[in-house]
Chains A and B, each alone.
Chain A
């Protein structure tokens, strides 16, 4: 028989737990603290999925309001942050469906591409390649590069590598299997790497 390891009780409670409890009891400032803590992450996730600034703004608002209204339903057996991310992902997908009526969103569709299976571009990068660009230029390069990924790869990379969810949490949030998340993550990482090589490769002759 499989044994279940106790999770609660032995670990330090996450600081969010106390804030959620206070917010449930009517302390709005406690909820405000949670909003400030996660607003950037939630906005980024919404922007990465919807690829539209207005939609991302609406999603962020709706996600935090929905979470506020549903606080009673939050079980506490998952982290507040991952619960919130799940709400934001669902809101983003709904927004996409509304915008592109009739078009299916391929977040759960696997994309077969040659790219990313075996790295082709072997050029090494400059030691600190991002220093060759201004902050604005770099942000534009990073946006353009990640926007070119298939949506199902992009969101796995964002949740797992940028926003810090575990592989299991990413799988649960997106309704994917763990192997599917792993496979997409590898391909997403390799595709981004290859595309960024165009900008970051070591230059043959450095001008001084």
Chain B
């Protein structure tokens, strides 16, 4: 397996959607290729960091304004 072939399957590997056979081939490539190992690990970390950190906080008061707007509609409609 070449690095380009590895890269084409990177997302499937990260998302866990590869077959056992493909997984074994990918693992074999990883054992001999530091370049792809770093790419895999740091790409996984990239996703994890974006998933676990709130980068846009909900503005204060927005929830209350929305609630009030919904209540207003409700009085009219239900």
Contact = CB atoms under 8 A, between A and B. Distances in A.
> Does B associate with A?
yes
Interface of A: 26, 28, 31-32, 35-36, 39-40, 43-44, 47-48, 53, 56-57, 60-61, 64-65, 68-69, 118-119, 122-125, 129-130, 135, 138-139, 142-143, 146, 157, 161-162, 182, 185-186, 189-190, 192-193, 196-197, 200
A61 B35 contact: no
Given A28-B74, A146-B50, A124 B41 contact: yes
Contacts, number: 111
A65 B53 CA distance: 27
B4 A118 contact: yes
Nearest to B36: A119
Contacts of B43: 189-190, 193
B1 interface: no
A118 B70 contact: no
A31 B51 contact: no
B70 A28 contact: yes
A48 B55 CA distance: 10
Given A43-B58, A130-B49, A162-B50, A32 B78 contact: no
Interface in B40-77: 41-43, 45-47, 49-51, 53-56, 58-59, 62-63, 65-67, 69-71, 73-74, 77
A39 B63 contact: yes
A120 to B, nearest CB: 11
Interface residues of B, number: 36
Interface of B: 3-4, 7, 10-11, 14, 35, 38-39, 41-43, 45-47, 49-51, 53-56, 58-59, 62-63, 65-67, 69-71, 73-74, 77-78
A84 B35 CA distance: 40
Q: Which of A39, A44, A185, A193 has the most CB of B within 10 A?
A: A193
Given A39-B63, A60-B66, A192-B46, A47 B41 contact: no
Contact of B50 (A60, A68, A142, A182): A142
Given A40-B54, A193-B42, 9 more contacts: A57-B59, A61-B66, A118-B7, A138-B53, A139-B53, A143-B56, A185-B11, A196-B42, A200-B45
